[in-house]
Amino acid sequence: MSPSAVRHVFLTGQPGVGKTTLVLKAIDALKTSPRTIGGFITTERRDGRGERCGFDVVTVGIDPPSSGTLATKAAAGSRPGKGVPAVGNYVVDVADFERVALDVLGRDADGPGRQRPDVTVVDEVGKMELHCVDFLPAVRRAMEDESTTVFGTIPMPRYGRTVPAVEAVRHDPRVAVVHVRRENRDAAAVAVAKALRDGHLDIDALVPFLQEGQAAKLGLAMDGGDGDGVPTDGVPTDGDGDGDGDGDRRVLGREEPEGCPCLLGGAHAARFRPECFTPGDLPDVEPRVLLLGETSSPKPAGGSALAMYEGRSMWRVMERFLLSASDEEKGSSVCDHATLVKAAVRSGVAVWDVLAEVHETAARNGSRRTKRAKTAADGASNDVVGLLERVHTIESVCFIGAKARVAFAKNFGGDKNDASITVENVGPAGGGVSREVSLIVLPSSSRANARVSMEQKARAWREALSR
Distance CA 123, CA 137 (A): 15
Q: Is the pLDDT of residue 279 over 50?
A: no
What is the C-alpha end-to-end distance of the chain, expressed in Å? 46
Q: Is the pLDDT of residue 4 over 50?
A: yes
| 3-class DSSP assignment, residue 30 | helix
Distance CA 410, CA 17 (A): 11
Mean pLDDT along residues 82-88: 85
Distance CA 154, CA 143 (A): 15
Domain boundaries, the chain: 3-218, 257-465
Distance CA 446, CA 454 (A): 10
Q: Which helix (H) or strand (E) holds 12?
A: strand 8-12
Residues of 263-273 as b/e, b for ≥16 C-beta within 10 angstroms?
Answer: bbbbebbebbb
Do the beta carbons of residue 226 and residue 386 sit within 8 Å? yes
| 3-class DSSP assignment, residue 122 | strand
Distance CA 149, CA 200 (A): 9
Q: Which helix (H) or strand (E) holds 404?
A: helix 402-412
Distance CA 315, CA 312 (A): 6
Cα–Cα nearest to 353, from 391, 432, 430, 296 = 296
| 3-class DSSP assignment, residue 176 | strand
* pLDDT tens-digit map of 354-396: 988 776 544 444 443 333 333 333 457 788 888 888 889 999 9
- In one-letter notation, the amino acid at residue 146 is E
The CATH code belonging to domain 257-465 is: 3.40.470.10
The DSSP 8-state label assigned to residue 407 in this structure reads H
Mean pLDDT along residues 280-309: 85
Q: Is the pLDDT of residue 464 over 60?
A: yes
Cα–Cα nearest to 412, from 465, 352, 460 = 352
* pLDDT tens-digit map of 157-211: 765 567 888 989 999 999 999 999 988 989 999 999 999 987 778 888 899 999 9
- In one-letter notation, the amino acid at residue 180 is V
* pLDDT tens-digit map of 114-147: 689 999 999 999 999 999 999 999 999 999 999 9
Confidence of residue 432 (pLDDT cuts 50, 70, 90): low
Superfamily the domain 3-218 falls into: P-loop containing nucleotide triphosphate hydrolases (3.40.50.300)
Cα–Cα nearest to 176, from 160, 192, 163 = 192
pLDDT: which is higher, 289 or 296: 289
Distance CA 300, CA 79 (A): 49
Cα–Cα nearest to 209, from 166, 172, 234, 239 = 239
Q: Which of the residue ranges 30-39, 75-84, 264-273 has the most confident prediction, judged by mean pLDDT?
A: 30-39
